[in-house]
Structure 1
Amino acid sequence: MSQMLNHELVAEKAIVHKAHPVASGSAAPRAFSNHTFELPAGVYAASLGCFVTFLATMAVGFGNPALGIPMAICGVFLAGFYGIPVLFVKESPEGTNKALTWGQFKSRGIMTLTGHLPAGEALAQVLVLPVLIVLWGLACVVIAALV
């Protein structure tokens, strides 16, 4: 059940700090973090390839000149989504950000929010959506051709 909380009840149970621990300087400064997402470049290339394949399928399957602007907009977004992380890695201080090689990825796997994943499971987790989008695009083109 819910109940009304008054100031006295909250004050008796709460731990009150005079200043924010991070803002007051008691915490160490944040170190530079790794922006490679611990994935080899081939995984990024496969993901980008799936999205480009989807756009190409839509452009060829629905070959209408009016689709030029929406396809160009999608291309600009893909360039941003995949180009900016590449810039993060290239602009890292003293080359500290290096993407994993394929051998390192296969032997170590990666750490995700839900725990450690071996390479095969990480690939499945990363590439399932792009592959499904390509299959969805193919299904749309086939249905449009049959109808």
Structure 2
Amino acid sequence: MSKQVHDILARGDARIVEAPANANAPRNQVESDRNFGLPTALYGATVGCYLAFIGIMAAAFSTPGLIIPMVIFAAIIAAGFGVPALWTRLRDNDSVPMTMGKFAQAGIMTNTGRLAARDATIQMLILPVLIVLWACTVVVIAALV
């Protein structure tokens, strides 16, 4: 024990306590839901939009110097969605993603209340779609200039 800890104990500012009696008790198994609560097709559409952005930019501005960065960007996007997809398929995961039919029927509960399937889909895909439209706009501007 360090001198500083020994001095604190000697002054009475701290004390050593016994370990809890149930420290060696068996732990209860916790059921984990490794699901993200939305249909897999929506995540596929998101990945598709991001990869479409990379594809549009790579096709429009294809130079030898940009091949490696574009491949790296595509790999990062694939890993960013692939690792969580693998995580949902781990052993002892009994949860399954919501089907499109159930999603269309029930919608999804968010922090601000229940959203219909249409609203949740729009909320989830608006940024990826805007990014693809941005890529198209950049390509048109570059072609006109």
Query: Contact 2:47–2:78 at 8 Å: present in 1 too?
Result: no
- After TM superposition, the score normalised by the length of structure 1 is 0.75
Q: Which runs of 4+ in 1 moved over 6 A?
A: none
1:64–1:132 CA distance, 2 compared to 1 (3 A): same
TM-superposed deviation, 1:92: 4.6
Q: In the alignment, residue 39 of structure 1 is paired with which amino acid? A: L
Query: Contact 1:36–1:85 at 8 Å: present in 2 too?
Result: no
Distance 1:92 1:128 in 2: 33
- CA deviations 1:48-105 (Å, max 9, x no partner) are 1101110110011111111111111111211111111111111051x41211111111
- After TM superposition, the score normalised by the length of structure 2 is 0.76
TM-superposed deviation, 1:29: 6.8
Q: Identity over aligned residues, as a percent? A: 43
Query: 2:55 matched to which residue of 1?
Result: 56
Q: Does 1:113 align with 2:114?
A: no
Query: 2:5 matched to which residue of 1?
Result: none
Equivalence map 1:55-94=2 (5 Å): 55-93=54-92
Query: Contact 2:108–2:116 at 8 Å: present in 1 too?
Result: yes
Q: In the alignment, residue 34 of structure 2 is paired with which amino acid? A: H
Distance 1:29 1:108 in 2: 32
Query: 1:13 matched to which residue of 2?
Result: none
Distance 1:32 1:114 in 2: 26
Query: 1:37 matched to which residue of 2?
Result: 36
| RMSD, aligned α-carbons | 2.1
TM-superposed deviation, 1:36: 2.1
Q: Secondary structure at the match of 2:109?
A: strand
Q: Secondary structure at the match of 1:116?
A: strand
TM-superposed deviation, 1:41: 1.1
Q: In the alignment, residue 116 of structure 1 is paired with which amino acid? A: R
Gaps of 5+ in 2: 1-22
Distance 2:46 2:36 in 1: 14
Q: In the alignment, residue 99 of structure 2 is paired with which amino acid? A: T
* CA radius of gyration, larger in: 2
Query: 2:143 matched to which residue of 1?
Result: 145
Distance 1:35 1:142 in 2: 42
